[in-house]
């Protein structure tokens, strides 16, 4: 459990020393083993939680977080009223996609984008990813659902 309750900011991330290999081992070997069949679902919500705990006020900051997390270079491809399209590329991403031992997915990144867009645009939404192994990039679509309140389930006493 985190002792510090403040949000993650870009300056804090830049001061960390990180290696891609350690991250990839945790992300693609250990977490799926621990989480089992529910890994994609849980990783998606881990991404949402990570966005909630990040300090973002502008769309450009989302791309900076992606870079600092070591996820790759994120760019906004198209913004529409009901959806935003992103593209993730870069050398690190290419290495992950082409690595013969890794079964990569981008559920965490999709969850992060869905929650980040909710925070910035004040609309609920969901994120979806599509991997293009030939072009070595990932396309994300975040669909905006107009101000639909999230369902809160109360546990009976």
Q: What number is the average pLDDT over the span 81-109? A: 89
Query: What SS3 state is found at 111?
Result: helix
pLDDT at 4: 55
pLDDT at 154: 52
* DSSP-assigned letter for residue 54: B
pLDDT at 42: 93
pLDDT at 16 over 70: no
In whole numbers, what is the pLDDT of the chain averaged over residues? 84
Cβ contact 76:84 at 8 Å: yes
C-alpha span between 57 and 64 (Å, rounded): 12
């Amino acid at each position: 459990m985190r002792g510090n309750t403040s949000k993650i900011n870009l300056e804090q991330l830049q001061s960390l020393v990180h290696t891609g290999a350690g991250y990839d081992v945790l992300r693609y070997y250990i977490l799926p083993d621990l989480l089992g069949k529910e890994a994609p679902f849980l990783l998606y919500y881990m991404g949402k939680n990570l966005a909630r705990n990040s300090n973002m006020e502008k769309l450009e900051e989302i791309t900076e977080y992606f870079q600092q997390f070591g996820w790759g270079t994120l760019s906004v491809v198209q913004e529409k009223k009901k959806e935003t399209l992103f593209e993730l590329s870069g050398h690190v991403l290419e290495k992950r996609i082409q690595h013969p031992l890794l079964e990569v997915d981008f559920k965490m990144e999709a969850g992060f984008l869905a929650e980040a867009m909710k925070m910035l645009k004040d609309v609920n939404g969901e994120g979806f990813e599509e991997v293009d192994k030939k072009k070595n990039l990932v396309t994300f679509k975040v669909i905006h659902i107009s101000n639909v309140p999230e369902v809160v389930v109360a546990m009976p006493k």
